[in-house]
Amino acid sequence: MIVINSSDIIKKPSFITKPTDITFVQDAKKHITKSVVLPYELYERVKEKIEDEIYLYNNKKALSREANDEFLEIESICEELV
């Protein structure tokens, strides 16, 4: 894993355009990670999991707590059947 800041991007743009490892981009002043850049091959492997998590997150916002708990219970059973 590589940790860089905006000045590193200006010096060497390939950190972002052609990443070879997971790259964390930090705010230069606060030293807080603001972005993560993945090599495309790694992204392809985690893409489905990311989409699943986004779906669950959006579903959680749309449903009440009780309905969301019921959905998660049903969803885990469905995954086991597949």
- pLDDT, one tens digit per residue, over 34-82 is 999 999 999 988 898 889 888 888 877 777 888 878 888 887 777 777 6
**If 0-12 CB within 10 Å is exposed, 13-18 middle and 19+ buried, where does residue 15 land?**
middle
3-class DSSP assignment, residue 39 = coil
> Tell me, what's the pLDDT at 82?
63
**Which residue would you say has higher pLDDT here, 30 or 61?**
30
Rounded mean pLDDT, 26-32: 86
pLDDT at 38: 92
pTM of the model: 0.59
Q: Are 9 and 16 in contact (CB under 8 A)?
A: yes
pLDDT of 74:
82
Closest CA to 16 of 30, 32, 5, 27: 5
> Nearest Cα to 40, choosing from 18, 24, 23?
18
